Amino acid sequence: MAVVFDNDTKERVRLAINIVDLIGSYADVRRQGRGFVARCPFHDDRRPSLQINPERQVWKCYVCDVGGDVFSFIMQKEGVTFPEALRLLADRAGIVIEERKGSRKEDVDAKRNLYKVMQWAVAEYHQCFLNSPEASEARRYIEDRGIDRRSIERFQIGFAPESWSWIIDRGVSASIGTDALESVGLLTKNERGSRYDRFRNRVLFPIRDPQSRPIAIGGRVLPGAPADSAKYINCSETALYHKNQQLYGLDLAREKMAKTRQAIVMEGYTDVIMAFQHGIDNAVACCGTALGENHIQLLKRYCDSVVLLLDGDEAGQRRTAEILELFLAQQLDLRILTLPDALDPCDFLVQQGGDALQSLIAGAIDALEYKIRTVCKGFDPLLDTHRATTALESVLQSIARIPNASATEVTRLRQDQILARLSRQFGIGQVEIKSRLDAIRANAARRQQFRQQLAAESNRPTLGNDAVAEPVAPVADRIRYGELRPIEAELFEIMVLHPDLAPMAIERFPPEHLLSGTAKRVFAMYVELELAGTPLDFQSVLSATMDPQLQSVMVSIEEHASLKAAKSLLSAEERLHTLCERWAVQDDIAYRKSQIRSLEQKTLDAQSEVDLLSSVLNQARIRHGIVPAEE
């Protein structure tokens, strides 16, 4: 029997690859109407004749009379078979593919049966919500939230009674076995292996794929439930459902998203339902997980702009900051909307209506503008130079996530405008800000190279979430705490006491500045653990360390860190920033020396010499406290 690929894996790869980005890696792509065009790579194309439909994820060249999807494009461009194209695209998306013996027809039939089971279950739960006396409290809750009968039916809101076997018993009557119910995520197991209903005494929100087929369910606990009850639970991941690749409401919102080229991303199921009820029918939400790269790739199929509308509370604002850099890296326009009075979108819509929310959406600010306002909140950047330096560094770290090599002319123009804005706001010359941005990008490239070297040494891929933390090859035969230089010890002390800052420290410190073998070993271990997704708190790091010498060094670092922390006058963030400045000074000195060598060796043309000399003079003025004049 021939080797086949799991059909679900094929679909996951297809969903993870954006066809515009894929073709854009081979040819220049530009927007034309609702689609994109590019010069066809399969013939001598003197004008863009290859048409790309981002919504349907297909391409077509009418001159060559060829077209297809992401797989066919790679097959023709690279001259490979379908299995080879699948592997190439899976590697690009960081997806592990599995090959197995089997029949394609068997796979299709099995998946079709899962769809039928889920559709049946959704109908059962929906009828229970509408008609069962047990659902009276659930109906009251939905009514109190302001959700009307049309929305209840449109989104097929359901209810699961307080029973350990309600859906199992209904399945028996419908000749649907527990294996099938477990396969779609509706059952779970206890310690003894006995299966029971996952959803009990909860309002249920069916999750549908873009083709409007039910693939999963999210359940919300009712008011008055025990305090230890999880507010929301979702189906487990199944052959139908991968939560990081689905958006709630997308099947209803995608048409409006494609027409307006804009999506409104909210946080909860009821937020989306209420948005549609008030005429905002391009709203979607994540399904029990944080917004991630796969969601952004999915959004890019339908729109060019996203308005992120999270709760106005502190947690919502923190999540907004975390998501910002993902959008910058994917070059998708992001706008941020903060709701007043810490309201969630559902409550805001009930209180003030759809027109009020639409007005706020129209005034949503650009993500980088939001970032600048956030980091500068509460002080004047022209007066508080220490906080201003930290704020500017944070903004530049975010801008550095924008891929520089593949940036379009529009992106480069936008970046220049941002740098000019930063120059005015922080009172620093635009040339110096651009120089620092270039340095950050160069450091990031060196870190990536360092990670690839680590992966090569340990024979481990750099992508994916299946990496296992293992000890790396020793950098030195013997490692000891006393070998650490003071600046290296300070770095690791901060990372040990403040694990939340460890990823930032890993990102911002160029490993080539670590001179001692012990420091290189400790830093390499942290990088390995971060790549493997291991928590970076001290106990987890120590548990993952198999080398007794390394364990001894870590214990010494922790002891010295604890003693020093009580005496430190600076916060952990300030200590880390001070270290960054010291490393930046070293880079700056090396950079200035290289500039001066270029001037002395006269290897540049006249204009480049003038620009370089101007930059050197401006840097000298800044070091002496002289703010360069506005450009």
The tens digit of pLDDT for each residue in 286-313 reads 887 778 888 888 888 888 899 998 665 5
Predicted local confidence at residue 520, as pLDDT:
87
Length of the chain: 631
Beta bridge partners, 284, equal 265
* Residue scoring higher pLDDT (377 or 114): 114
Structure tokens at 83: 């299995």
* Residue scoring higher pLDDT (452 or 12): 12
Which of 174-178, 238-242, 443-447, 450-454 holds the top average pLDDT?
Answer: 174-178
Residue 615: φ, ψ to 5°: -65, -45
Label residue 263 by pLDDT band (50, 70, 90).
very high
Label residue 505 by pLDDT band (50, 70, 90).
confident
Which of 137-141, 332-336, 395-399 holds the top average pLDDT?
Answer: 137-141
Whole-number Cα distances in Å, 628 to 77, 372, 396, 479, 591: 51, 21, 19, 47, 19
Nearest to 327 by CA among 301, 293, 303, 302: 293
Mean pLDDT of 416-445: 85
Beta bridge partners, 37, equal 30, 51
Predicted local confidence at residue 615, as pLDDT:
65
Predicted local confidence at residue 571, as pLDDT:
80
Residue 476 has pLDDT above 60, yes or no: no
Q: For residue 568, give the DSSP letter.
A: -
Predicted local confidence at residue 272, as pLDDT:
96
Domains in the chain, CATH or no CATH each = 3-101 (3.90.580.10), 104-241 (3.90.980.10), 245-375 (3.40.1360.10), 464-568 (no CATH), 581-623 (no CATH)
Nearest to 74 by CA among 7, 23, 18: 23
Lowest mean pLDDT among 274-283, 299-308, 394-403, 529-538: 529-538
Contact 325, 371 (CB under 8 A): no
Give pLDDT tens digits for 376-400.
Answer: 888 888 888 888 888 888 888 888 8
Whole-number Cα distances in Å, 99 to 103, 236, 435, 616: 12, 23, 48, 58
Q: How far apart are CA 314 and CA 500, in angstroms?
A: 18
Q: How far apart are CA 480 and CA 478, in angstroms?
A: 7
Q: How far apart are CA 302 and CA 285, in angstroms?
A: 15
Contact 383, 427 (CB under 8 A): no
Residue recorded with tokens 């979108």: 345
Residue 473 has pLDDT above 50, yes or no: no
pTM greater than the 0.85 cutoff = no
Q: How far apart are CA 260 and CA 254, in angstroms?
A: 10
Structure tokens at 377: 């909140």
Residue 591 has pLDDT above 60, yes or no: no
* Cβ-based neighbours of 148, under 8 Å, separated by 6 or more: 277
Structure tokens at 396: 């530049």
Q: How far apart are CA 536 and CA 585, in angstroms?
A: 28
